[in-house]
């Protein structure tokens, strides 16, 4: 493992690297098989735009924490996940995750990433709310999020043009109490050696 | 010859797989994983977890679900729970 931050049974999460930027990361966000049910990306991705994202967001945006998802067995970069729209005062954030490498897109790794992020959000960062969203036609995302305990909190009806028709933007949320009730306190994951104090940005309070 | 606990559990888990994947002829071993069943994606993975919870009347935690990477892992979790 290289620079692990959160360690699961099959994957670990770490800070993205330049090697990730010039690897397959940008390809996942051009792949229609991956994007089909997601918030539609209108433009193809490339290494240069990925490097822009790396420099502007990964390295400099304190309202986001971006992680590379790495397979423990092969140390292969298989996906990306992040906490976004972090409000350090009101203690909430969004999250999203994509396992981009096809052979790992079986649910095992997806769920483990979700569990690692939820534990980070609710247990280590002591956030109150975790939000996410998906396009209504993305049944896969909806099923995973409902399984994790998320509840629908609203919709923007017919917001997105997707594959020839309009689709709702679905908003979901999970509270710290709901997480603790279903998942918290059972099956702890090992931490990657980064204590809570260093997990927060240098300025706390927005 | 009496069947061992693992063999018994394998047959029960196979029933779950046949139901979830809607394939009465599906045959699994302890090494069976998503690499062996093309239809095994994240949707089916959730379906397997929910079906196992229902069939064996258990509520799995995050670490136990992580053990569901292959059938052998599932059996370990289910036998571990029953042994507890």
Contact B46 A183 (CB under 8 A): no
Nearest CA-CA distance, residue B59 and chain A, Å = 9
Q: Rounded distance, CA A112 to CA A89, Å? A: 28
Select the residue from B41, B42, B64, B77 to test the A interface by mutation, using most A Cβ atoms within 10 A. B42
Tens place of pLDDT per residue across chain B (84 aa): 566 999 999 999 999 999 999 999 999 999 999 999 999 988 899 999 999 999 999 999 998 998 899 999 999 999 986 533
Judging contacts by C-beta atoms under 8 Å, the chain A residues touching residue B41 are: 105-107, 140
Contact B42 A112 (CB under 8 A): no
Q: Rounded distance, CA A17 to CA A75, Å? A: 13
Judging contacts by C-beta atoms under 8 Å, the chain B residues touching residue A111 are: 42, 45-46, 65-66
Mean pLDDT of chain A: 87
Contact A140 B41 (CB under 8 A): yes
**Helix, coil or strand: residue B22:** coil
Beta-carbon pairs below 8 A across chains A and B = 67
Contact B41 A105 (CB under 8 A): yes
Q: In percent, how much of chain A has pLDDT > 70?
A: 86
Give the per-residue pLDDT at A74: 96
pLDDT surpasses 80 at A37: no
Q: At what angle do helices A139-148 and A108-119 cross, to 10 degrees?
A: 50
Select the residue from A97, A98, A99, A106 to test the B interface by mutation, using most B Cβ atoms within 10 A. A106
Following CA atoms A138, A141, A144, A150 in sequence, which dihedral angle do they give, to the nearest 10 degrees?
-110
Q: Which residues contact B83 (CB under 8 A, 6 or more apart)?
A: none
For residue A106, give the nearest of B40, B65, B66 by CB distance: B40
Digit-coded pLDDT (tens) for A58-103: 999 999 999 999 999 999 999 999 999 999 999 999 999 999 998 8
Q: Rounded distance, CA A49 to CA A52, Å? A: 5
pLDDT surpasses 60 at A195: no
Give the per-residue pLDDT at A31: 83
Is residue A74 exposed (0-12), middle (13-18) or buried (19+ Cβ within 10 Å)?
A: exposed
Digit-coded pLDDT (tens) for A128-170: 999 999 999 888 889 999 999 999 999 999 998 887 889 999 9
Give the per-residue pLDDT at B60: 93
């Amino acid at each position: 493992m290289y620079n692990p931050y959160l360690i699961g049974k099959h994957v670990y999460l770490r800070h993205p690297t330049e090697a990730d930027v010039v690897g397959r990361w940008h390809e996942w966000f051009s792949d229609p098989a991956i994007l089909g049910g997601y918030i539609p990306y209108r433009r193809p991705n490339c290494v240069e735009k990925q490097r822009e994202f790396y420099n502007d967001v990964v390295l400099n945006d304190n309202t986001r924490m971006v992680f590379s998802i790495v397979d423990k067995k092969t140390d292969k970069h298989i996906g990306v996940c992040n906490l976004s729209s972090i409000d350090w005062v009101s203690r909430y954030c969004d999250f999203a995750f994509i396992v981009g490498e096809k052979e790992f897109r079986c649910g095992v790794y997806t769920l483990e990433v979700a569990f690692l992020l939820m534990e980070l959000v609710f247990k280590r960062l002591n956030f109150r709310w975790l939000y996410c969203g998906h396009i209504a036609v993305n049944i896969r995302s909806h099923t995973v999020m409902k399984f994790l305990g998320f509840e629908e909190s609203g919709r923007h009806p017919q917001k997105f043009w997707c594959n020839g028709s309009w689709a709702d933007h679905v908003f979901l949320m999970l509270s710290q109490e709901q997480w603790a009730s279903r998942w918290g306190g059972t099956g702890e994951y090992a931490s990657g050696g980064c204590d809570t104090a260093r997990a927060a940005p240098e300025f706390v309070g927005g | 010859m009496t069947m061992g606990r693992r063999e018994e559990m394998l047959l029960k888990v196979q029933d779950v797989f046949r139901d979830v994947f809607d394939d009465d002829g599906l045959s699994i071993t302890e090494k069976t994983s998503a690499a062996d069943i093309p239809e095994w994606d994240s949707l089916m993975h959730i379906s397997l977890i929910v079906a196992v919870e229902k069939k064996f009347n258990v509520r799995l935690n995050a670490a136990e679900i992580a053990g569901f990477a292959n059938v052998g892992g599932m059996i370990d979790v289910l036998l571990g729970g029953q042994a507890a």
